[in-house]
């Protein structure tokens, strides 16, 4: 068995980000930038007014109250078209170009107008209410670094910077393969010895939420030919995730067929509870992550290993983020496996494990707001003692 951190590093070392494609900005939402977003223009491209008012030369503002002659108007999209003359002012609207020669905008509320005569109740304030050209960015500036997931704000920025497409990583295609005669698909009639294939659906949702495309390959039944056929269906994927079938029982054929067809194991067990039978390897150039068949085990391992793997394929760099917390109850010494307890965050900020820690109990995982990490051979923890927790997505820390 190898430690969890070592297993994660081995998986990440074996994976590479997907190829780079160029997508129109409207199709890039949620994809990961493969190259930085670089401005193709300056914003704003000219000195612009930040307020509605009048553009003036500050040198003409000789007192606390000044009288100037109205020369014309600079509106958004329609500049004055000439330099402002001494002793004059130009009507100006928010976002409009500041006329050449002007270096101050007096807001409308501080002015009075009679015909073309303006009284401005303001002293000289050079650069007041003017947004300088390039205050947002200049042509050639790097606006967003590679490795970030594209969001609505980034799209608005990229379009404003003159970009019509973004260089992103191709969406990884992740195969999901269930195993076992005991499984039936949702909506099918279950026999007296069968259960619904639910874990694959949860994993597909996790894959989608991670920005990847889940490719469901169905259920490999408990015979070598079925396993072989499903491995054939996995060609062209970026990662294959299998569920169950990795033990040493008479009906567990997954690992046997994997080896017979030239698959190479990187590791076959990890020092983890729940999740010890997790394995990883490669078959014909396809990385394969084998998850345990127990539902909670599979979904806990997915937080620790699968999500970082999906991030790597997407060009991101992510690992589980643990935060310190105060334990509300006694916890015994831990054994030789890193243990994750389904836990509940209390209103006072403390945490405690749920009663049901069975690796098949999905209801307890849903009720949990965090996973409490117990290190290998960790000492006992008493009320008030420190523990590390992983807050589960969508739940409050």
Q: What is the DSSP string of 60-114?
A: G--SSSEEEEEEEEEBTTB---SPPPTTEEEEE-TTPBPPTT--EEEEGGGEEEE
For residue range 172-191, what is the model confidence (pLDDT) as tens digits?
999 999 999 999 999 998 88
Q: What is the average pLDDT across 136-161?
A: 97
Q: What is the average pLDDT across 94-116?
A: 96
- Tell me, what's the pLDDT at 394? 76
Dihedral (Cα; 180, 181, 184, 188), 10-degree rounding? 170
**118-127, 243-252, 327-336, 354-363: segment of lowest average pLDDT:** 243-252
Does residue 277 carry a pLDDT above 90? yes
Does residue 250 carry a pLDDT above 60? no
Query: Which pLDDT band, with edges at 50, 70 and 90, does 253 fall under?
Result: confident
Name the DSSP letter for residue 250: T
Burial of 396 per CB tally in 10 Å (0-12, 13-18, 19+): exposed
Cα gap 316→308, rounded to integer Å: 8
- Tell me, what's the pLDDT at 256? 87
Cα gap 255→228, rounded to integer Å: 11
- Tell me, what's the pLDDT at 251? 57
For residue range 325-363, what is the model confidence (pLDDT) as tens digits?
999 999 999 999 999 999 999 999 899 999 999 988 999
- Tell me, what's the pLDDT at 247? 63
> What average pLDDT is seen over the chain?
94
Does residue 46 carry a pLDDT above 80? yes
Phi, psi of 54 (to 5 degrees): -135, 135
- Tell me, what's the pLDDT at 191? 87
Query: Which pLDDT band, with edges at 50, 70 and 90, does 255 fall under?
Result: confident
Does residue 248 carry a pLDDT above 60? no
Tell me the two tokens of residue 87.
């002793």
pLDDT more than 70, % of the chain: 97
- Tell me, what's the pLDDT at 249? 59
Burial of 285 per CB tally in 10 Å (0-12, 13-18, 19+): exposed
Hey, which residues does 387 pair with through a beta bridge?
A: 325
Does residue 304 carry a pLDDT above 80? yes
Among the listed residues 55, 161, 70, the one whose alpha carbon sits nearest the alpha carbon of residue 114:
70
319 contact partners, CB below 8 Å, separation of at least 6: 8, 308
Does residue 397 carry a pLDDT above 60? no
Tell me the two tokens of residue 41.
């223009």
**47-51, 259-263, 296-300: segment of lowest average pLDDT:** 259-263
DSSP 108-143: GGGEEEETTEEEE-----TTTTEEPTTSSB-TT-EE
Say what the pTM is.
Answer: 0.86
What residue has token string 């060009």? Answer: 315
Give residue 235's Cα distance to chain centre. Answer: 27
Does residue 17 carry a pLDDT above 90? yes
Q: What is the average pLDDT across 357-370?
A: 93
- Tell me, what's the pLDDT at 382? 97
Tell me the two tokens of residue 256.
């046997």
């Amino acid at each position: 068995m190898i430690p969890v951190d070592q297993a994660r590093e081995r998986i990440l070392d074996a994976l590479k980000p997907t190829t780079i494609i160029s997508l129109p900005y409207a199709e890039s939402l949620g994809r990961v930038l493969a190259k930085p977003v670089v401005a193709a223009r300056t914003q704003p491209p000219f000195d612009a007014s930040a307020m509605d008012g009048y553009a003036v030369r500050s040198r003409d503002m000789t007192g606390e109250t000044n009288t100037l002659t109205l020369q014309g108007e600079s509106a958004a999209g329609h500049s004055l078209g000439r330099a402002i003359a001494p002793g004059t002012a130009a009507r100006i609207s928010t976002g409009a170009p500041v006329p050449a020669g002007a270096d101050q905008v007096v807001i409308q509320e501080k002015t009075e107008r009679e015909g073309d005569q303006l009284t401005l109740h303001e002293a000289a304030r050079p650069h007041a209410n003017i947004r300088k050209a390039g205050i947002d960015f200049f042509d050639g500036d790097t606006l967003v670094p590679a490795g970030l997931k594209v969001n609505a704000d980034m799209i608005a920025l990229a379009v404003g910077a003159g970009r019509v497409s973004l260089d992103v990583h191709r969406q990884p295609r992740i195969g999901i393969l269930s195993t076992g005669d005991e499984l039936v698909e949702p909506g099918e009639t279950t026999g007296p010895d069968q259960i619904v294939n639910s874990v694959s659906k949860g994993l597909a949702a996790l894959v989608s939420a991670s920005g990847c495309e889940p490719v469901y390959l169905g259920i490999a039944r408990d015979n070598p030919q079925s396993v072989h056929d499903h491995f054939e269906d996995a060609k062209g994927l970026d990662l294959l995730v299998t569920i169950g079938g990795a033990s040493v029982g008479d009906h567990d054929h997954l690992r046997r067929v994997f080896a017979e067809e030239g698959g190479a194991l990187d590791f076959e067990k990890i020092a983890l509870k729940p999740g010890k039978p997790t394995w990883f390897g490669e078959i014909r150039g396809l990385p394969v992550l084998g998850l345990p068949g127990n539902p909670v085990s599979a979904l806990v391992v997915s937080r620790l290993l699968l999500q970082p793997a999906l991030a790597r394929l997407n060009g991101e760099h992510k690992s589980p983020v643990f935060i310190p917390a105060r334990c509300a109850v006694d916890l015994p010494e831990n054994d030789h496996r890193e243990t994750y307890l389904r836990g509940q965050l209390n209103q006072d900020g403390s945490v405690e494990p749920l009663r049901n820690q069975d690796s098949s109990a999905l209801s307890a995982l849903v009720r949990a707001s965090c996973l409490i990490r117990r290190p290998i051979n960790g000492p006992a923890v008493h009320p008030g003692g420190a523990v590390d927790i992983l807050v589960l997505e969508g739940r409050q820390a």
